[in-house]
Amino acid sequence: MTFERKEMEARYRLFEQGVLQDQRSYYHHAIEVNEQAAASANRWRATFALIAGIASIIIALLASDATPGDAFAACYQAAPNVDETCTFTVKYIIPVLLVISVVAPALGAAFTTLADLYQWDRLTAIYTTATKSLAIADALSPLDEMDDPVYLASLDAFAEGTLRVMRDETSQWGQLIKTPDALQKYIDEAKQTADNIGQ
């Protein structure tokens, strides 16, 4: 099939704008979204770790003098002549801080699980690699100074390179949803153990 030069140039411009530039902007947007999601999850994990640490330190400071016979022990028994602040601290503040020191790490772990589930860092790496590969494909784009046969060959290489990047990026999704071999082996062993116990 032979193409006129103007038709080849039109095909190039159409493919560049409709496919390459569109895909590039999609990759940039996907990188930005995944980086923001990963950063947000990391911030929440760090925040909950900080809250748990502060709560634990406060509990340690409040309870550091708690030995039998001390004022703290007397406060805990809530004798009638004991300071109300001491009673309030022992009966309300310390239990709340204990709950916080247990719940905050659990919430942080939930964000860790969320990050593992959505794999934002891995997606960012996939899209970053795809963006770099698009730049390589774009380097194959035809130039106006080229002769017609060279221009056509360059156009084909440019289009094929761009489509290959898109196919490679799409194939990565299959790897993301595939259960890792070690996890699948563990699941199979757990099912086998459960079947053996049930018999």
Q: What is the pLDDT of residues 94-108, one digit of tens each?
A: 889 999 999 999 999
Residue 187: pLDDT over 80: no
Q: What is the pLDDT of residues 113-129, one digit of tens each?
A: 999 888 999 999 999 99
107 touches 47 (CB < 8 A): no
Residue 77: pLDDT over 60: no
55 touches 104 (CB < 8 A): yes
Q: Is the dihedral of CA 115, 117, 120, 122 positive or negative?
A: positive
Residues near 31 by Cβ (< 8 Å), separated by ≥ 6? Answer: 124, 127, 128, 131
**Structure-model confidence comparison of residues 177 and 132, the more confident one:** 132
Q: Please state whether the predicted TM-score (pTM) of the whole model is above 0.75.
A: no
Residue 175: pLDDT over 70: no
24 touches 134 (CB < 8 A): yes
pLDDT at 21: 95
Q: pLDDT category, 90, cuts 50, 70, 90?
A: confident
pLDDT at 45: 97
Q: What is the pLDDT of residues 135-154, one digit of tens each?
A: 999 999 999 999 999 999 99
pLDDT at 76: 54
pLDDT at 36: 98
Q: What is the pLDDT of residues 4-50, one digit of tens each?
A: 889 999 999 999 999 999 999 999 999 999 999 999 999 999 999 99
Q: pLDDT category, 62, cuts 50, 70, 90?
A: confident
Report the percentage of the chain scoring pLDDT > 90.
Answer: 59
pLDDT at 171: 81
Rounded (10°) angle between helices 94-118 and 120-139:
30
pLDDT at 179: 55
Can you tell me the distance from the alpha carbon of 162 to that of 164, in angstroms, rounded to the nearest whole number?
5
